[in-house]
């Protein structure tokens, strides 16, 4: 099976705020990201995020902060700054140890804040 790619993510922009007085016009964009279909696999070291333009940014995505999972799934999503990827973590209920997601995730909805310009 193929891995989830940046083109498999659906990004919906909810609200855009331009930080006044910021050098270069830094934007905070609240958005919704949807992915997963029980068919495409979670790639090693995370899901690549789409281009900055898909987040309504002109030049680059500086960072992405996950705000909420709208899916009711127990996966904790974090942003890998160095690789610009979403990484999923699942906590083992018995040991309390976190392990990275593996296999083909079910449909997921994440709400987040994209920051860049």
Domain ranges in the chain are: 6-116
Q: Report pLDDT digits (tens) over 12-47.
A: 999 999 887 666 678 999 999 999 999 999 999 999
Q: Report pLDDT digits (tens) over 3-12.
A: 999 999 999 9
- Residue 15 and residue 19: Cα distance in Å, rounded? 13
Q: What is the pLDDT, as a whole number, of residue 71?
A: 66
Q: What is the pLDDT, as a whole number, of residue 93?
A: 73
Q: Which pTM was predicted?
A: 0.86
Per-residue buried b or exposed e for 17-50, using 16+ beta carbons within 10 Å of the residue's own CB:
eeeeeeeeebbebebbbbbbeeebebeeebbbbb
- Mean pLDDT, the chain, rounded, equals 90
């Amino acid at each position: 099976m193929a891995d989830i790619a940046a083109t498999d993510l659906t990004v919906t922009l909810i609200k855009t705020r331009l930080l006044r007085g910021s050098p270069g016009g830094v934007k905070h964009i609240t958005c919704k990201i949807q992915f997963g279909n029980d068919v495409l696999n979670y790639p090693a070291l995370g899901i690549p995020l789409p281009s900055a333009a898909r987040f309504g940014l002109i030049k680059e995505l500086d960072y992405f902060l996950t705000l909420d999972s709208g899916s009711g799934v127990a996966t904790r999503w974090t942003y890998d700054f160095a690789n610009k990827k979403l990484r999923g973590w699942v906590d083992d209920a018995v040991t309390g140890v976190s392990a990275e997601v593996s296999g083909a995730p079910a449909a997921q909805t994440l709400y987040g804040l994209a920051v860049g310009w």
